[in-house]
Amino acid sequence: MTSSTLPLAPETTTVSGTGASAESAGYWPWATPTRTTRNLTADGWVRGHDPRTVASGRARAQDPDYPEWLGHVRAASACKHPIRLAGQIHVNDADGNRMATVDTEDMPDGAIYTPCGNRRAAVCPSCAELYRRDTYHLIKAGLQGDRWGLPPLNEHIAIFLTATAPSFGPVHHRVVKVHAADCRKKDGCTCRPSVCHPFGRTCPHGQELRCGQRHKAADTQLGQPLCLDCYDHVGQVVWNHEAPELWRRTIQQADRELRRLGRAHGVDLRRRYIKVYEFQVRGVIHYHALIRLDGYNPDCPEAIVPPPAGITRQMFADAVEAAFLKTAYTSASHPANGGQGWHIAWGDKGLDLKHVNAPGHEVNLAQITGYIAKYVTKSTEVTGLSLRRVDDLSVEIHGDPGTHLGRLIRACWDLGEHPDYTRLRRWAHQFGYGGHIATKSRAFSVTLGFLRLQRTIWRRTEGHPHTWDDEQTERVIYELGYQATGWITTGDALLANTAAAMARAQHLAGIDALADELAATRAVRPLAA
């Protein structure tokens, strides 16, 4: 058969619907499409994008000033909701005289684009990833040291602990006693779990407090009470409300225990820590904390020195555990509790305490650093509900008394009428918890502000931080105000995010190439003489 007898495909072929065959479409047998394509002539969609998005993106890309605009929005190109600032930027000389003034009206779009900086991945994945990476390096510096003015911290003792809340009623849970060797992802774990609640009685409300299922990791029943009326929703939101105060008292008690330990050995000890909170599926928080033990130099109290050799890891762990066991108090009184307060203490299951980089233990620096850093981008998404704020109107919608989360929100709103519990209404969207996502000791590591400054210096000097001049920076005066939030058009968002994705891909490719080069260098060994 010659080429003239081959069944050639037509020049223009449009496939619509799902019943078109390869023969009717005119495709060669080996070029049969594996999926149908949308009829572009019918609705104008292009690769899943709205025709208005495509039109606005095409108009922007065809603009002669498009390269200038792309460089202008580079700092916020990956942000989902960038903030546009308008105003003037003044540059003064050393004597304070005005040298130049730049107006945002002369810039592309008449504004300066800056990232929103939101830490929640559900709101802005790009800014949340940047926040996670900053937290990662902050924790790594506090464990490893030897950077940013911190001394080497390899000789310092550190423990990682998880402190949970008490039980407020039986809920559906998933417990895996033995995980497989290749099980790494908690949310996607496929290991065989234990039976949820194999034994139980019938509660006064007629509900049987037992469950014979083996729940999957994504089961929607997880965290739901076995009996909605038996569960102490009021006690849970009050515990969330008091959790920051409970931690403050606990860390003060830990200082007392360490001073007692130091006096017994004739030494002075200092503790440094960083902690983050995480929401459980039932809507209550628990803390992950990394506590480092330091020594004390009377000649230089601000110096970070290793603890004395006579203090062991077990002594440190016993002191911290004693602090958590001893700390408990009664909250402010409330009419909903008969004019009394609630007993606030940690859960009765005890601390999950592990030594970091200890001989014979599996917990190392990389695991702990990544484990803690990933939680700073999360909030209440694990519970299935993610809200901004709750007000008089939205509480009627989200405070459904027929659901577990609705009762938690309603409990926050009702208890918040009391003057001592007004913060419950402010933080009803977080089921009463109003603390910071992460807190740390001042001497544990550097600050997030320091890391942002280093990134700013690198960006403004284009990779040459040694040319940075602090005095020159102080001469730049910003008079900027809020203009708007978000991209002007969806086409702008598409182009900016695509450029950011290509830049990230190029960066990752460079990292992979450098890793391969280093691996090849290590693999080369000189031959024996």
Q: Closest Cα to residue 88, out of 100, 96, 80, 71?
A: 100
281 touches 382 (CB < 8 A): yes
pLDDT tens-digit profile, the chain (529 residues)? 444 333 333 344 444 444 444 444 454 544 445 554 444 545 566 555 667 777 777 778 888 888 888 888 888 888 888 999 999 988 887 777 888 888 888 888 888 888 888 888 888 888 888 888 888 888 888 888 888 888 888 888 889 999 999 999 888 888 887 777 667 666 667 778 888 888 888 888 888 888 888 888 888 888 889 889 899 999 999 999 999 999 999 999 999 999 999 999 888 888 999 999 999 888 999 999 999 998 888 888 788 888 888 888 899 999 999 999 999 999 999 999 988 999 999 988 778 888 887 776 666 777 788 888 888 888 888 887 887 788 888 888 888 888 999 999 999 999 999 998 999 999 989 988 988 888 998 888 888 888 888 888 887 787 777 777 777 667 788 888 998 888 888 888 888 888 777 777 776 777 777 777 766 665 544 444 3
What is the Cα–Cα distance from 482 to 463, expressed in whole angstroms? 29
So what's the pLDDT on residue 150? 85
284 touches 431 (CB < 8 A): yes
Dihedral in degrees, nearest 10, Cα atoms 70, 71, 75, 76: -10
So what's the pLDDT on residue 236? 93
What is the residue extent of each domain of the chain? 66-147+447-501, 151-168+232-440, 173-229
* Start-to-end Cα distance in the chain: 66
Spell 138-159 as b/e; 16+ CB within 10 A means b: bbbbbbbbeeeebeebeebbbb
CA 384 to chain centroid, in Å, comes to 16
